[in-house]
């Protein structure tokens, strides 16, 4: 589940115009990841290659990163790997779900060595009770409670704590139906450290993201726009160009494998 992946990554949430109200009865299967990621067809795997745009030629330049996402028969993500050429690091995350599809945990390695893990407690009605994060040695480094989700099983908000129970941060997510359209993170004193809004087109693909990152010394605002250049016969995009300040920055190519 992407919502919890965001929590582990950096809690910069890593999801409303038509948002429906939260359900008090979560006794149903959460929305599959392929649906929330707006993938059509019986998707088995998505391989994504991201290239930097050559500033001199405006054409596809050096490979920046490669990622692979794998999905089970119900459409839930079970495997995610990413390779970045900058530091030659390969990250692999494997995820687990219970019989009803609710996310129950994940583990991440870096270059084959343990990096972090997450255990999620979910009750019989599908309510997420607590998520506990562990470092590479298996020592607890944070936990999350007051977890609220919408009727699709997607995380709306939570509080993060240090192991000694002092507040570390809080976050909130916004959705248009099942589609992530922005979020916000705050530090322990309530100061916003990250915020984002995502604009979608009529096909529910992102066309613009506005992000604000706040550090101790500075605030950075970034607007990224997305253009879709190629599509496959299932209606999924296979090439995307991202731009900042009107200049193309990256070309992203996807190879989507479908189950027979």
96-139 per-position pLDDT tens digit: 999 999 999 999 999 999 999 999 999 999 999 999 999 999 99
Give the chain's domains with CATH numbers.
2-258 (2.40.160)
Which pLDDT score, from 0 to 100, does residue 28 have?
57
Neighbouring-strand partners of residue 239:
230, 253
The confidence band for 23, taking pLDDT boundaries of 50, 70 and 90, is very low
The string of pLDDT tens digits covering residues 33-65 is: 999 999 999 999 999 999 999 988 889 999 999
pLDDT at 159 over 90: yes
- Average pLDDT, integer, range 213-224: 96
pLDDT at 226 over 70: yes
**27: Cβ–Cβ under 8 A, 6 or more apart, which residues?**
124, 125, 126
The confidence band for 204, taking pLDDT boundaries of 50, 70 and 90, is very high
Distance CA(258)–CA(234), nearest Å, equals 10
The string of pLDDT tens digits covering residues 75-99 is: 999 999 999 988 899 999 999 999 9
The confidence band for 18, taking pLDDT boundaries of 50, 70 and 90, is very low
Residues 81-105 as b or e (16 or more Cβ within 10 Å = b):
bbbeeeeeeebbbbbebeebbbbbb
- Average pLDDT, integer, range 4-27: 38
Residue among 226, 189, 192 at smallest CA distance from 212: 192
The confidence band for 7, taking pLDDT boundaries of 50, 70 and 90, is very low
* Three-class SS of 172-232: EEEEECCEEEEEEEEECCCCEEEEEEEEECCCCCEEEEEEEEECCCCEEEEEEEEEEEEEC
| Mean residue pLDDT across the chain | 90
Q: What percent of the chain has pLDDT over 70?
A: 89
Task: Compute, in degrees rounded to 10, the torsion defined by CA atoms 29, 34, 36, 41.
Answer: -110
pLDDT at 20 over 90: no
Which pLDDT score, from 0 to 100, does residue 6 have?
44
């Amino acid at each position: 589940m992407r919502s919890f992946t965001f929590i582990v990554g950096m809690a910069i949430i890593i999801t409303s115009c038509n948002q429906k109200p939260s359900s008090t009865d979560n006794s149903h299967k959460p929305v599959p990841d392929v649906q929330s990621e707006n993938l059509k067809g019986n998707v088995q795997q998505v391989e994504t290659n991201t290239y930097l745009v050559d500033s001199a030629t405006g054409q596809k330049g050096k490979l920046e990163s490669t990622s692979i996402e794998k999905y089970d028969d119900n459409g839930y993500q079970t495997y995610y790997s990413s390779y970045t050429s900058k530091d030659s690091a390969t990250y692999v995350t494997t995820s687990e779900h219970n019989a009803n599809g609710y996310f129950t945990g994940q583990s991440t390695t870096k270059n084959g060595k343990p990096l972090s893990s997450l255990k999620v407690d979910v009750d019989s009605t599908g309510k997420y009770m607590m998520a506990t994060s562990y470092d590479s040695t298996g020592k607890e480094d944070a936990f999350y409670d007051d977890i609220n989700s919408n009727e699709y099983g997607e995380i709306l908000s939570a509080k993060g704590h240090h192991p000694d129970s002092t507040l570390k941060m809080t976050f909130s997510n916004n959705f248009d139906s099942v589609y992530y359209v922005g979020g916000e993170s705050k530090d322990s004193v309530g100061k916003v450290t990250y915020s984002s809004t995502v604009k979608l087109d009529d096909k529910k693909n992102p066309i613009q993201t506005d992000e604000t990152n706040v550090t101790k010394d500075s605030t950075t605002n970034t607007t990224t726009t997305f253009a879709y250049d190629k599509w496959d016969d299932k209606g999924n995009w296979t090439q995307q160009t991202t731009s900042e300040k009107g200049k193309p920055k990256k070309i992203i190519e996807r190879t989507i494998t479908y189950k027979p």
